[in-house]
């Protein structure tokens, strides 16, 4: 059993909050919480604090929000604290090498994949998009590379057919908090394992354009894309100049004669589209100025005739 550690926690979004809460409920001492600055968000462009800041202040922790972690001022602040460990979870800043040398025992990162698979900023989405059947979380020592450090522990979870990036995000955040607690409790007995870099895959940052549906692909791969892109950045297609956002679909085994992207004949309350392999039945959809609707309700006000080509 490891002794108490003095920890500087670095994290920003919802995903990191369960890890901070796990530390708060542990015997370890959170000396400081470092998070991103407040940002303007939403239609009103209100200045909003990161979720980690809200959680940290509710627990009584001191919070700082540097614009950069590469300044001498920030580095000197960390050195004066003399922490045992940095714990970094979805922080949003890359820590420079000199900063990683500050903690006496090193810097631990919780990453939402089974490393070395899906290194990078969007591992949850890409695991679904690429049709993986399982993923997980990994604790590792940080080094100068992008998620390339030695592995401490990992924990697997199944990716179900109903998972979206939202549901998987929430499950992995809780799993990551439990794995962090296990890592710290057994820290002195763990033997870090080097990653096999030849097996590494990458999960690059997503943008809105990544959600544009290419109907030449198979129905199964498009269903995975839709789940991986939900809720953000969202999968979409166009009917003429009208943008349609797709939230849910199921692949069908039929092999339609129509070209990919063509709406094929089906029951009145269905919308089936030919793909490069198979057909895709769209189940939940949102028009440019509407709300998310079941396809039956959407089609009542938005008739889409067989033969219509989506692009």
Q: What is the mean pLDDT of residues 271-288?
A: 96
Same domain, 74 and 13: yes
Same domain, 195 and 214: no
Same domain, 34 and 139: yes
Same domain, 95 and 30: yes
Tell me the HSE value of 18 on the side-chain side, using a 13 A CA sphere. Answer: 15
Q: How would residue 290 be classed by pLDDT, with cut points 50, 70 and 90? A: confident
Mean pLDDT of the chain: 96
- The answer to whether residue 309 is domain-embedded is no
Q: Helix or strand or coil: residue 211?
A: helix
CATH code, domain with 95: 3.40.50.170
Same domain, 70 and 219: no
- The answer to whether residue 306 is domain-embedded is no
Q: How would residue 191 be classed by pLDDT, with cut points 50, 70 and 90? A: very high
Q: For 42-59, how does the pLDDT look when each residue is reduced to its tens digit (9 = 90+)? A: 777 889 999 999 999 999
- The answer to whether residue 237 is domain-embedded is yes
- The answer to whether residue 1 is domain-embedded is no
pLDDT at 289: 76
Residue 153, beta-bridge partner list: 139
> 168: which residues sit within 8 A by CB, 6+ positions away?
124, 127, 128, 135, 157, 159
> Which of 178, 199, 220 is the last residue before a domain boundary?
199
DSSP state letter for 209? G
- CA dist., res. 7 & res. 28, Å (int): 7
Same domain, 189 and 237: no
Same domain, 168 and 82: yes
Looking at the chain, how many residues does it have?
311
The whole-angstrom distance between residue 59's C-alpha and the CA centroid of its chain comes to: 25
Q: For 73-128, how does the pLDDT look when each residue is reduced to its tens digit (9 = 90+)? A: 999 999 999 999 999 999 999 999 999 999 999 999 999 999 999 999 999 999 99
Same domain, 91 and 168: yes
- The answer to whether residue 91 is domain-embedded is yes
Check: CB of residue 307 under 8 Å from CB of residue 235: no
Supply the range of the domain harboring residue 278: 208-301
Overall domain count for the chain: 2
Nearest alpha carbon to residue 144 among 95, 107, 111, 108? 95
pTM: 0.95
DSSP element (H, E) containing 224: helix 219-228
Q: How would residue 24 be classed by pLDDT, with cut points 50, 70 and 90? A: very high
Please determine, for residue 139, whether its predicted confidence score (pLDDT) is greater than 80. yes
pLDDT at 44: 76
> Which of 199, 221, 250 is the last residue before a domain boundary?
199
- The answer to whether residue 222 is domain-embedded is yes
- CA dist., res. 170 & res. 18, Å (int): 10
Whole-Å CA distances, 216 to 253, 270, 311: 16, 21, 10
> 112: which residues sit within 8 A by CB, 6+ positions away?
15, 90, 118, 123, 124, 135, 137, 169, 172, 173, 176
- The answer to whether residue 158 is domain-embedded is yes
> Which of 173, 199, 225 is the last residue before a domain boundary?
199
Same domain, 159 and 224: no
Task: Provide the sign of the torsion angle of the four alpha carbons 130, 134, 136, 141, taken in this order.
Answer: negative
Q: What is the mean pLDDT of residues 173-200?
A: 97
DSSP state letter for 262? B
């Amino acid at each position: 059993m490891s002794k108490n550690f003095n920890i500087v926690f670095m994290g920003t979004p919802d995903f990191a909050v369960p890890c901070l809460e796990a530390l708060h409920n542990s015997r370890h001492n959170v000396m400081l919480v470092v998070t991103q600055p407040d940002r303007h968000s939403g239609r009103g462009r209100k200045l909003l604090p990161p979720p980690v800041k809200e959680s940290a202040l509710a627990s009584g922790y001191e919070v700082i929000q540097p614009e950069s972690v590469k300044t001498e001022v920030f580095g000197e602040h960390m050195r004066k604290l003399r922490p045992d460990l940095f714990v970094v979870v979805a922080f949003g800043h890359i820590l420079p090498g000199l900063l990683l040398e500050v903690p006496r025992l090193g810097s631990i990162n919780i990453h939402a994949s089974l490393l070395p698979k899906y290194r990078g900023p969007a591992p949850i989405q890409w695991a679904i998009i690429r049709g993986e059947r399982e993923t997980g979380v990994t604790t590792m020592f940080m080094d100068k590379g992008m998620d390339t450090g030695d592995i401490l522990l990992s924990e697997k979870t199944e990716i179900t057919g109903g998972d979206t990036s939202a549901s998987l995000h929430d499950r992995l955040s809780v799993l990551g908090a439990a794995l962090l607690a296990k890592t710290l409790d057994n820290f002195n007995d763990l033997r870090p394992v080097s990653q096999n870099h030849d097996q590494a895959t990458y999960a690059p940052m997503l943008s809105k354009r990544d959600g544009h549906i290419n109907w030449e692909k198979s129905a199964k791969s498009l269903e995975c894309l839709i789940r991986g892109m939900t809720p953000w950045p969202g999968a979409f297609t166009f009917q003429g100049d009208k943008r349609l956002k797709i939230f849910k679909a199921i692949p069908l085994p039929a092999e339609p004669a129509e070209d990919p992207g063509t709406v094929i004949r089906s029951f009145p309350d269905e919308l089936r589209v030919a793909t490069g392999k198979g057909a895709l039945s769209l189940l939940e959809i949102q028009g440019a100025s509407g709300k998310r609707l079941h396809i039956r309700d959407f089609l009542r006000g938005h008739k889409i005739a067989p033969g219509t080509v989506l692009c």
